[in-house]
Amino acid sequence: MLSEKLASALNNQIQVEAISSQVYLAMASWAEVQGLEGVASFMYEQSDEERLHMLKLVKFVNERGGHAVVSELKAPKSDFGTFKDMFQELFEHELKVSASINELVHTALEEKDYATHNFLQWYVAEQIEEEAVARTILDKINLIGNDKGGLYLFDRDIKQLTVETAANDNPK
């Protein structure tokens, strides 16, 4: 059974994951109208993944005797300036999500809820991977600079981007 404090914290994380899905969706739409089909495809996939993260939390809260709450979301912005600005924003967003997950893990330990702590370890590992992917993308963008040919190749290749992290159970 979840404590009220932990149920509230988990519901907050449900909202964080929903916001993440919306942010990625907005980025996908922006990239698509910019002619960046590869980036758009990557972002649509990320949006779907974040929604699955949210659903996993919803089911967990309900299975543990809590009540997962679907909250209202503020619309994300729809213009991201440049694709470099967009990926910088994505990276900063992932850092915020990681901080939120870490705070949630801390709350689980404070509440001595080791089942929730164990469940959250998947999210901790996932965030290591999310940050690594965002950092790798930014590194590649910085290598490209203002080279239009490099941007074309980046857009084409991002669909296949994989990053091996220490947290990966099955390196790609």
Task: Express each pLDDT in 101-149 by its tens digit.
Answer: 999 999 999 999 999 999 999 999 999 999 999 999 999 999 998 888 8
94 annotated to bind ligand: yes
d(CA 128, CA 108): 19
pLDDT at residue number 35: 94
Q: Helices 114-144 & 37-63, crossing angle to 10 degrees? A: 170
In the structure, what pLDDT confidence band is assigned to residue 172 with cuts at 50, 70 and 90? very low
Is 73 part of any domain?
yes
Query: What are the structure tokens assigned to 79, written together?
Result: 């213009």
Is 169 part of any domain?
no
What CATH number is attached to the domain comprising 87? Answer: 1.20.1260.10
pLDDT at residue number 165: 53
Q: 61 is in which domain, residue-wise? A: 4-160
28's CB contacts (< 8 A; 6+ apart) are: 39, 40, 41, 42, 43, 44, 46, 47
92's CB contacts (< 8 A; 6+ apart) are: none
- Counting the structural domains of the chain, the total is 1
Put simply, whether the predicted model's pTM sits higher than 0.85 gets the answer: yes
In the structure, what pLDDT confidence band is assigned to residue 88 with cuts at 50, 70 and 90? very high
Whether the pLDDT of residue 11 is over 70: the answer is yes
50 annotated to bind ligand: yes
Whether the pLDDT of residue 162 is over 80: the answer is no
Is 156 part of any domain?
yes
Is the pLDDT higher at 145 or at 8?
A: 8
88 annotated to bind ligand: no
* Contact assessment for residue 100 and residue 13, using Cβ atoms and an 8 Å cutoff: yes
* Contact assessment for residue 80 and residue 89, using Cβ atoms and an 8 Å cutoff: yes
**φ/ψ (deg, to 5) at 52:** -65, -35
Mean pLDDT of 39-64: 96
Is 101 part of any domain?
yes
32 annotated to bind ligand: no
Whether the pLDDT of residue 19 is over 50: the answer is yes
Is 170 part of any domain?
no
In the structure, what pLDDT confidence band is assigned to residue 52 with cuts at 50, 70 and 90? very high
